[in-house]
């Protein structure tokens, strides 16, 4: 009896592992699709595409959807790094990857201010939005 239970447990572990690998593959396929559809909008981000840079903003996931959510230190560090090039930051916030991830641009645009970044590009026009 114990032998069958052990086999079932091992089988469940294998099934979970396969599902996990499947999720990782789906993420990479989606990244490939978004980045191959001409997402590098005129080269706003040197050495990368806005969609690839958007992947670096994963620590900002809750902060880009809820203006009252706390902004993590990891998020602020990435926004500061990308924000050194305001055109790139704007392209990232409006990228296909950001849209697919449910980013709300009107909230995301407030993150540099919410991070208290002193060198943020205040007043920079980003599509229909202005950096506060």
In eight-state DSSP terms, residue 72 is: P
pTM of the model: 0.64
Instruction: Return d(Cα 22, Cα 18) in angstroms, integer.
Output: 6
Instruction: Return d(Cα 67, Cα 7) in angstroms, integer.
Output: 48
Q: In a structure prediction context, what are the per-residue pLDDT tens digits for the chain, which is 132 residues long?
A: 555 555 555 555 555 544 443 333 333 333 333 333 334 345 789 889 999 999 999 999 999 999 999 999 999 999 999 999 999 999 999 999 999 989 999 999 999 999 999 888 888 888 888 888
């Amino acid at each position: 009896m114990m032998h069958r239970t052990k086999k079932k447990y091992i089988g469940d572990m294998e099934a979970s592992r396969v599902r996990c690998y499947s999720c990782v593959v789906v993420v990479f396929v989606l990244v490939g699709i978004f980045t191959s559809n001409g997402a590098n909008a005129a080269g706003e981000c040197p050495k990368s595409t806005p969609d690839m840079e958007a992947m670096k903003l994963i620590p900002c996931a809750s902060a880009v959807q809820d203006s009252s959510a706390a902004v993590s230190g990891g998020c602020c560090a990435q926004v500061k790094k990308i924000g050194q090039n305001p055109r790139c930051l704007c392209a990232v916030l409006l990228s296909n990857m950001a849209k697919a991830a449910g980013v709300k641009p009107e909230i995301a645009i407030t993150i540099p201010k919410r991070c208290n970044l002193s060198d943020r590009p205040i007043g920079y026009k980003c599509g229909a939005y202005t950096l506060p």
